[in-house]
Structure 1
Amino acid sequence: MKTYLIAFILATVLSALLTPIIRRIAPKTGAIDLPSGRRVHKRTIPRMGGIAIIFAFFAPLIALIFYDNSISKVVKENLWLLVGLVAGGAIVAVLGALDDMRGVGAKVKFAVQTISAVIAFYCGFRIESIDLPILPPMQMGVFALPVTVIWIVGIINAMNLVDGLDGLAAGIAIFANVVNFVISLISGNILVALISVSLAGAVLGFLFYNFNPATIFMGDVGSMFIGFILGSTALIGSASKASTAVSIAVPILALGLPIMDTLLAIVRRFLERRSIFAPDREHIHHKLLSIGLTQRRAVLVLYAVTAIFTCLAILVYLGRAWQIGISLLLGSIIMIGIIRSMGYFDYLKQVRNQKEGKRPEDIEKLRFIVPKIITEMKNAGDVENAKQILQKFGMEGDFVSISYEKDGDDSKKGGKIEWLWENPNLRNGNGNGSRKGKLPAIRGYISASYPVCANGHSNGSNGNDSVRGTLKFSWISERGTVSEQKDILLCLVADAFSQSALVDQNRNNNRSTNSAT
């Protein structure tokens, strides 16, 4: 037990020391998270805090290789498993770092994640059989590889998707490691226990800076790495000599919240005929924010739910048949309760109505227009061209007006309208991006605003040279409210405009630098 405690403390302290260093370096590499319509934070925050977690996690494991006791002996005997963790973890970490700095396409992510899962499989992390309660074990045979890959890749993306609020993914990871540690102690799996305390300590040290209000995010490098480790260690039992089967109930309950959120996201996007990789604001944590909870309270609520899942997972492992049944029943009731309280049943009804041809005409039109507009925005080159594309979008989407309001120097004062387009077909305006105009007195007139932020950090600054503003869309609607689908689509357009502003600012900064030299 002393070795476990030392490993936990070492990982915690090292992570707490490394995180501020990463926080200073990240902006210089472009690893920053900009405010947007799909994100809940309102300021630029560094990413890649997961790098501190990775180094802090491996430090105790590597140190034990050079130390001689009963636990280090087990580590040395399972070096091939550690090779799988290092190799697979390094691959997803590099992928995540590139995504944090430059962005990586969804298909590339999926392919690289699959490679890391295959490496883990051949290093001993595999599902050779599934042990379901009451039923006899199901041998996987030739399906062992694809089932293992699906599990590991699924957990990687589940942790990535749930990383939407300050401290949420980190807290869930700590609870999941508590389950792994308790079960491994009971079963005598020393390696899993050591991995669990090391990862829990590394994440805890990072959480000091990530809990609301966060000063750094773990980024994809952190969420993907944690997901890979959690997904792999859940299978170590099947790789050990003590067992050839893995109980599917325990890891599913331990990671119940991210798994449920991911499955709901897949179903939601499938029903909407969107890519399963398409972003939205319909995750469980977004729903909690929409009912008025603050970030901190929403995270604490989800911590409580995760704690319940943690207890149920341990009870399933320790309990008899009837106790396992009760635990699974309680877990199912909790999941159904969350789904119902978050309004997902009403959502399914809405989707059914849409399939029957009841989808609003303006939404159908935007679903067709927005992908083309985003593609054109990527090739715009500068803000002026992006504004021309917005004019085109306004005409095709039947908007009354689109405006860009640049924030003032004094946060207490309102910003000024930098650019305003008015639809000449719907109101008296010249439609050429004039700076003057008043909002129309039209019944049913509504609008939606989205933050625009661009900070290239091309000169290694700390973000003070950011260009921030608000992109506002106005239109006529009998419903009087902004539908969730339209909100998502307009968020995507606003984000594309932000990227054009980012490119334009980088170009201007480079010109200023060249002129100075």
Structure 2
Amino acid sequence: MIPFALQYIIVLISTLVLSAVATPIVRFISFQIGAVDNPNARRINKVPMPTAGGLAVFIAFAVSVLGFLPGIIQHLTIDESYFDYVLPLVIAGGLVIVTGLIDDIKELKPLPKMCGILIAAIIIWVWTDFRFDDFKIPFGGPLLHFPSWLSFVLTVLWIVAITNAVNLIDGLDGLVSGVSIISLTTMGIVSYFFLHDSDIFLPLTIFILVVAIAGFLPYNYHPAIIYLGDTGALFIGFMIGVLSLQGLKNSTAVAVVTPMIILGVPITDTVVAIIRRSLSGKKIYEADRMHLHHRLLFMGLTHRGTVLVIYAISFIFSLISLLLNVSSRLGGVLLMVFLLLGVLILSEMIGIFGENRTPLLNALRFIGNSSYRQEAIAKWKSRRLK
């Protein structure tokens, strides 16, 4: 009999091949149904580009977890049915795919698009145990148990927030695909080795999604011949949001912080965007060209160089999340402090908070530059005299 590990590797390879084969077909279909990004002032592409590439990722993922994987898992001594475990994920993910596909074709308004994501998130809360029902305050805090109504609100809020955060960074060829592969791979490693009472089904599902995205990435990497579109970006963001809930409700404090660090790139970009727009008096959902990838391009990096830099940042976040799981409490606190400082300094250096909003850099200049310090003190005294 073939060992389970070898059977699983065969499933991973089959999923990768299926995604790679499905992508050109989906590319052709995208042109036929009008799921195309035409160039405009906010677009990076200079020619019409087929979207809905996420449909290929979903097809490979769904076929694998509903068809291939249940057949090999049934031989294990596990009471729970994997098919029953994963079916609600596929149904909810399919609803997100449909929502994104309609948006790629007709450009939905924010409200109906949000409704599709909300309904999918509710399906997850009702039919799965991916729920935000417990939360351990990190670094010595108590374990909080939420009532059902609060668990519902927090679960839906987390899934919707992560879905939109991932969708928000989808601005360059291969950006979401690569960052998602890095984040999900780290999440799979953490769930297998570090989460207490974690079900083996979780890492198995995560790595299937990783290879489904990996099969699509060569077509999506710069210069791309197909985009994920909202079809893919929303689906991948939704799945990341759902799968990361297992860590958030874990009784280990470090496990609570880990998914937030793993998703550092989309979460940081979203939080900074909200702060920036609020300080500028804009609506928090109002689009701009001040995201991380926009700022790196503005600094003179090439398209591919910008993507690689963000991959590197995502990898650093993931490495820190792994270190956090093997460090002491003091080491974990120091890691978090230096991570926060690093994020703030990087954000100010590349200007994603907005022009002249660099309080931390100004403080460092005040400490390390005597001329700047004297000038700042003189300005402060002049204001006091007025």
TM range (shorter): 0.7 to 0.9
Give 1:274 deviation, angstroms: 3.2
- Structure 1 CA distance, aligned partners of 2:86 and 2:57? 17
The answer (yes or no) to whether the contact 2:57–2:216 under 8 Å persists in 1 is yes
1:146 and 2:153 correspond: yes
Deviates more, 1:304-313 or 1:335-344: 335-344
Is there any run of 5+ residues in structure 2 with no aligned partner, and where? 359-386
- Structure 1 CA distance, aligned partners of 2:326 and 2:33? 47
Query: Which residue is 1:347 aligned to?
Result: 355
Query: Which residue is 1:287 aligned to?
Result: 295
- Structure 2 CA distance, aligned partners of 1:257 and 1:69? 34
Query: Which residue is 1:34 aligned to?
Result: 38
The answer (yes or no) to whether the contact 1:129–1:246 under 8 Å persists in 2 is no
The answer (yes or no) to whether the contact 1:129–1:245 under 8 Å persists in 2 is no
1:348-363 equivalences in 2 (<5 Å): 349=357
Query: Which residue is 1:431 aligned to?
Result: none
The answer (yes or no) to whether the contact 1:167–1:214 under 8 Å persists in 2 is yes
Question: Per-residue displacement from partner, 1:437-483 (whole Å, max 9, x unpaired)?
Answer: xxxxxxxxxxxxxxxxxxxxxxxxxxxxxxxxxxxxxxxxxxxxxxx
From 301, 305, 308, the equivalent of 2:309 is 301
The answer (yes or no) to whether the contact 2:50–2:225 under 8 Å persists in 1 is yes
Pick closer, same or farther for the CA change 1:75–1:190 going to 2, 3 Å.
Answer: farther
Query: Which residue is 1:129 aligned to?
Result: 134
- Structure 1 CA distance, aligned partners of 2:9 and 2:121? 30
Question: Per-residue displacement from partner, 1:43-72 (whole Å, max 9, x unpaired)?
Answer: 111000000000111222123465244676
The answer (yes or no) to whether the contact 2:92–2:121 under 8 Å persists in 1 is yes
3-state DSSP class of the match of 1:248?
A: helix
1:229 and 2:220 correspond: no
3-state DSSP class of the match of 1:138?
A: strand
Number of corresponding residues: 348
TM-score, normalised relative to structure 2: 0.84
Query: Which residue is 2:230 aligned to?
Result: 220
Pick closer, same or farther for the CA change 1:236–1:70 going to 2, 3 Å.
Answer: farther
Query: Which residue is 1:83 aligned to?
Result: 87
Pick closer, same or farther for the CA change 1:109–1:2 going to 2, 3 Å.
Answer: same
Query: Which residue is 1:315 aligned to?
Result: 323
- Structure 1 CA distance, aligned partners of 2:114 and 2:340? 29
Give 1:252 deviation, angstroms: 0.7
- Structure 1 CA distance, aligned partners of 2:353 and 2:217? 34
TM-score, normalised relative to structure 1: 0.63
Query: Which residue is 1:19 aligned to?
Result: 23
Give 1:196 deviation, angstroms: 1.3
Kindly provide the amino acid, as one letter, of the partner of residue 317 in structure 1: N
The answer (yes or no) to whether the contact 2:11–2:68 under 8 Å persists in 1 is no
Pick closer, same or farther for the CA change 1:63–1:181 going to 2, 3 Å.
Answer: same
- Structure 1 CA distance, aligned partners of 2:274 and 2:353? 15
Query: Which residue is 1:326 aligned to?
Result: 334
Kindly provide the amino acid, as one letter, of the partner of residue 189 in structure 2: V
Kindly provide the amino acid, as one letter, of the partner of residue 58 in structure 2: I
Query: Which residue is 1:63 aligned to?
Result: 67
- Structure 1 CA distance, aligned partners of 2:79 and 2:270? 33
The answer (yes or no) to whether the contact 1:7–1:194 under 8 Å persists in 2 is no
Give 1:318 deviation, angstroms: 3.1
- Structure 2 CA distance, aligned partners of 1:74 and 1:216? 40
1:264 and 2:269 correspond: no
The answer (yes or no) to whether the contact 2:136–2:251 under 8 Å persists in 1 is no
1:458-477 equivalences in 2 (<5 Å): none
Question: Per-residue displacement from partner, 1:464-506 (whole Å, max 9, x unpaired)?
Answer: xxxxxxxxxxxxxxxxxxxxxxxxxxxxxxxxxxxxxxxxxxx
1:189 and 2:193 correspond: no
Give 1:101 deviation, angstroms: 0.6
Query: Which residue is 2:377 aligned to?
Result: none
- Structure 2 CA distance, aligned partners of 1:7 and 1:245? 34
The answer (yes or no) to whether the contact 2:254–2:324 under 8 Å persists in 1 is no
Is there any run of 5+ residues in structure 1 with no aligned partner, and where? 351-517
Which is helix-richer, 1 or 2? 2
Pick closer, same or farther for the CA change 1:349–1:4 going to 2, 3 Å.
Answer: same
Give 1:129 deviation, angstroms: 1.6
Deviates more, 1:155-164 or 1:117-126: 117-126
Kindly provide the amino acid, as one letter, of the partner of residue 217 in structure 1: Y
Give 1:112 deviation, angstroms: 2.0
Deviates more, 1:143-152 or 1:62-71: 62-71
Kindly provide the amino acid, as one letter, of the partner of residue 22 in structure 1: V
3-state DSSP class of the match of 1:81?
A: helix
Which gives a bigger RCO, structure 1 or 2 (Cα 8 Å, sep 6+)? Answer: 2
Pick closer, same or farther for the CA change 1:22–1:125 going to 2, 3 Å.
Answer: same
1:53 and 2:57 correspond: yes
1:160-179 equivalences in 2 (<5 Å): 160-179=167-186
The answer (yes or no) to whether the contact 1:125–1:238 under 8 Å persists in 2 is no
Query: Which residue is 1:338 aligned to?
Result: 346
Kindly provide the amino acid, as one letter, of the partner of residue 71 in structure 2: Y
Pick closer, same or farther for the CA change 1:80–1:37 going to 2, 3 Å.
Answer: same
Give 1:263 deviation, angstroms: 1.3
Pick closer, same or farther for the CA change 1:345–1:163 going to 2, 3 Å.
Answer: closer
Query: Which residue is 1:393 aligned to?
Result: none
- Structure 2 CA distance, aligned partners of 1:113 and 1:31? 19
Question: Per-residue displacement from partner, 1:343-366 (whole Å, max 9, x unpaired)?
Answer: 14553649xxxxxxxxxxxxxxxx
1:211 and 2:218 correspond: no
- Structure 2 CA distance, aligned partners of 1:327 and 1:145? 31
Kindly provide the amino acid, as one letter, of the partner of residue 180 in structure 1: M
The structure that has the greater radius of gyration is 1
The answer (yes or no) to whether the contact 1:98–1:104 under 8 Å persists in 2 is yes
- Structure 1 CA distance, aligned partners of 2:214 and 2:199? 23
- Structure 1 CA distance, aligned partners of 2:54 and 2:14? 17
- Structure 1 CA distance, aligned partners of 2:77 and 2:34? 42
From 94, 98, 107, the equivalent of 2:111 is 107
3-state DSSP class of the match of 1:318?
A: coil
Kindly provide the amino acid, as one letter, of the partner of residue 319 in structure 1: S
**What CA RMSD, in Å, does the superposition of the two structures yield over aligned residues?**
2.3
Kindly provide the amino acid, as one letter, of the partner of residue 178 in structure 1: T
3-state DSSP class of the match of 2:60?
A: helix
- Structure 2 CA distance, aligned partners of 1:230 and 1:205? 18
Pick closer, same or farther for the CA change 1:68–1:197 going to 2, 3 Å.
Answer: closer
